[in-house]
Amino acid sequence: MWYVIQTKTGDEPLLKDLLKELLRSESYRQCFVPLYEEVRRSGGKCRIYFRRFFPGYLFVDTDQPEEIFRTLKRTPEFTRLLGVKEADGMT
């Protein structure tokens, strides 16, 4: 199942690397920040830029969202794991 982790814009790669360090590899299948290519022409030259498709969001494929949620609650970069019911009843 896919879950979305909300974080501060710009902290997505930092949180992704932090998850790789803190979580067991069996806890999730894939974790990524969706990017897209943007081509800009300036002075007759084309430049390719990689931009975040959803700034402030990280996607994770897991069957154990509770474990990821508990780990994320201990990190300052984390804001919210969308799709998981929190103790206060909020999702």
d(CA 48, CA 29): 29
* Model confidence pLDDT, tens digit, residues 22-70: 888 888 999 999 999 999 999 999 999 999 999 999 999 999 888 888 8
pTM of full prediction above 0.75: no
Residue 68: partners with Cβ closer than 8 Å, 6 or more residues away: 3, 5, 19, 23, 27, 28, 60, 62, 81
* Model confidence pLDDT, tens digit, residues 68-81: 888 888 877 676 77
What is the per-residue pLDDT for 89? 42
What is the per-residue pLDDT for 80? 74
